Structures are given as C-alpha cells and as structure tokens.
Amino acid sequence: MSAEDPTNKFREAVLKDAPRLKQTDAFQFGCHPGVSCFNQCCADVNIFLTPYDVIRMKNRLGIPSNEFLDKYTIIPFTKEQRLPVVVLKMRDETDKRCPFVTESGCGIYEDRPWACRMYPLGMASPGDYEQGAEEFFFLIEEEGCKGFQEQRTQTVAEWLADQGIAVYNEMGDPFRKFTTHPKMQGDVELTLAQMDMVHMTCYDVDRFRRFVFESTLLEKLDIAADRAEAMRDDDVELMKFAMDWLRFSLCREPTLPIKQEFRQKKEQDLAGVIAARRDAALKQKQEKGKSG
C-alpha cells in the first residue's frame, strides 16, 4: 500500500515518468482476504493524512484531535517537505504494523484514510495551481503485492466509486490547494509560530475551534451567522473554514471577506500612522532648520 506524498520530488517523478490513466481506463487488480499477502501492506508504510482523514479517524475512535495526533501521527520533516503535514505512526520500532490493522483486515475500514482507499492508484495534476489542469491517475506497484495477479479488472472510475473516494477528494481539495500553492512551495521557510499555526489549523480541529471562538477573529471577518454556527459543532464545516483561513492568511488569497468596518478601521489606523510619521519628520526638519 502506498500513500499520497505531497513532496515536490515525488510529484515531479510522477509527472515525468508514470504512465497516465484516465477514469475510463481499465487495470487488473484485486484485493481480498484470500490473497497470500493479505494485511502485509498495512505495515512499515508512509501514509500522509489529510485534515479530513484525521477528522474521520478521530471521530471513529471517539477521541479529541490532540489525543489522536499524539498517539497516531508523526511529522516527517525533510528537505523537500517543509509543511508540518502528518503521517500515520506505525506501532513501534519492532512492530511496524499500522495501529489499526487486525487479523481480519483494517479495523477502521469505513473511515480508513484517502491513501489506503486509493491504492493501487495514485492521483496527480500536471497543471499550474491557478489553472487547475486535468488530473490523471497512475498505478503504484508495491513490492510483494499479489493483487496485480488477481483476475479482477475494473476501470479507474469503478475503483474510485467502490472505494468511496468522491467525498474524500471533495473534502481534500482545499487542503491540496493550500499545500500546492506557489507560496507554500520551493524555498518556503515558515517560522516556528507559522508551523504551529498550520499544524493546528490543518489537524487539531478542537484547538482550532478554541482559537476561532475564543479570539476576536470572527469579529473581523464577514462570515454568515449560519456558517459560524455550523462551525461550532461540525468538524467538517470548521475544516472548510480552516482551509480558507490558511489560504487567506498565508497565501494572501481572498478566500475570506473582511468586515467593512474593520477594513475601514485598518485603513484609518494606517492613514493615522502615515500622518504621524509625516508630522514627526516635518517637525524634525523644522527643528534642524532652527538650530542650523
């Protein structure tokens, strides 16, 4: 089994070398408890999690987001990966199985992450962020996976439908837009405070809820009352706002409207600062003239 890897290096290799599949293309693959490799892929694997994955999994387990993140995730920083995206943590150094695998398969099957659903397919988009060019699919053949020897054949579209991918793609799209934004690519250097903010906003939904409702943030933004109300109880609604907030605050995209009165006050404050600086400079000049 493999996972979505948001690093540039992986994406570039896929765009360059991977044979591309369309939704209507068929591929031969089958996975069921009868295969000799059953469960082998649920060990020693890098599974990047999306914010939606974390919500589904922590709600399935009935635990707070910070407990889920502490127990079940790690943040793998590399040269290429500078955003604090999280990866599913395997059990421990000697038992490298996924914490959710059981004798009979995935113990959280209905809420398993996007990457587990997709395998053996990967998905990539060749276009610029703005253009949103067409995505394509490619096959990932993990060593030891006997699924490719099974006689079952299906189209990409059939596989995606069977795995319930549509809602995961829809919910993962704002996260993808954030992580692939040009401002988050290349030599991006986030401060520690920004890293913490990104991690909280993407994954720690309970802490982000406190940040939103216990600060003056919503006083400054023009958010419809029913949307704000939904965000209080609904993790998915809050996640959608969270992605808008990251794109607004870090990527400088107009994803959230600022309240008119706050905008005016900001403009007045700015005008006040400029006027005060101008007066101070003028006064200094006049005093210099007197003493000269």
Residues that bind ligand SF4 (CB under 6 A): 1, 31, 35, 37-42, 47, 98, 100-101, 106, 108, 112-113, 116, 119, 145-147
**Sign, CA torsion 131/135/239/69:** negative
C-alpha span between 151 and 140 (Å, rounded): 18
- Residue positions counted in the chain: 292
Give the nearer residue to ligand SF4 in terms of CB position, either 130 or 143: 143
Smallest separation, CB 42 to ligand SF4 (Å) = 3
Name the minimum Å distance from CB 240 to ligand SF4: 24
- Shortest gap between Cβ of 150 and ligand SF4 (angstroms)? 7
Instruction: Compute the least distance from the CB of residue 130 to ligand SF4, in Å.
Output: 33
Nearest-angstrom CA–CA distance, 226 and 224:
6
Q: How far apart are CA 7 and CA 19, in angstroms?
A: 19
Residue 88 CB, nearest approach to ligand SF4 (Å):
7
The radius of gyration of the chain's CA atoms, rounded to the nearest angstrom, is 24
Nearer to ligand SF4, 116 or 223 (CB): 116
In the complex with ligand SF4, the residue whose CB is nearer, 119 or 137, is 119
Q: Which is nearer to ligand SF4, 172 or 246 (CB)?
A: 172
Closer residue to ligand SF4 (CB): 46 or 155 = 46
Using CA atoms of 5, 44, 75, 240 in order, give the dihedral in degrees to the nearest 10: 50
In angstroms, the CA 130 to CA 120 distance is 28
Q: Are 71 and 88 in contact (CB under 8 A)?
A: no
Q: Which residues contact 41 (CB under 8 A, 6 or more apart)?
A: 1, 119, 142, 144, 145
CA 84 to chain centroid, in Å, comes to 10
Q: Which two tokens stand for residue 172?
A: 């993962």
What's the closest the beta carbon of residue 100 comes to ligand SF4, in angstroms? Answer: 4
Q: Please report how close the Cβ of residue 27 comes to ligand SF4 at its closest, in angstroms.
A: 13
Q: How far is the CB of 98 from ligand SF4 (least distance, A)?
A: 3
User: Cβ-count burial of 106 within 10 angstroms (0-12 exposed, 13-18 middle, 19+ buried)?
Assistant: middle
Nearer to ligand SF4, 102 or 264 (CB): 102
DSSP 49: E
Question: Closest by alpha carbon to 152, among 29, 23, 25, 24?
Answer: 29
Nearer residue to ligand SF4 within complex by CB, 33 or 254: 33
Q: Number of helices and strands (H, E) in the chain? A: 12, 9
Nearer to ligand SF4, 3 or 83 (CB): 3
